[in-house]
Amino acid sequence: MASVDVEMVKCACPDCVCVVSLSKAVTRDDKAFCCDECAEGHPDHAGCDHAGCSCHG
């Protein structure tokens, strides 16, 4: 089986719909997030401010 290089992944925040490039992702606990707010679990209950997302906002 050939290996596949993945460049884009869905944000690991369960409520987020963002897809982020691995080179620009915020990484925490081996998971890729679209921004610090998602990576930190939305401590201020604010969403990620990206269009179309309903995450904690």
Q: Classify residue 28: in a domain, yes or no.
A: yes
Range of the domain at 21: 8-40
Predicted TM-score (pTM) of the model is 0.80
| Domains: count for the chain | 1
Q: Classify residue 53: in a domain, yes or no.
A: no
Q: Classify residue 57: in a domain, yes or no.
A: no
What are 1-34's pLDDT values in tens digits? 666 667 999 999 988 999 999 999 999 999 999 9
CA distances from 26 to 1, 22, 51 (A): 30, 8, 18
| pLDDT classification of 52: cutoffs 50, 70, 90 | confident
23 Cβ contact partners less than 8 Å away, ≥ 6 residues apart: 7
Q: Classify residue 54: in a domain, yes or no.
A: no
Q: Classify residue 24: in a domain, yes or no.
A: yes
Q: Classify residue 50: in a domain, yes or no.
A: no
CA distances from 44 to 19, 22, 41, 47, 48 (A): 22, 25, 9, 9, 11
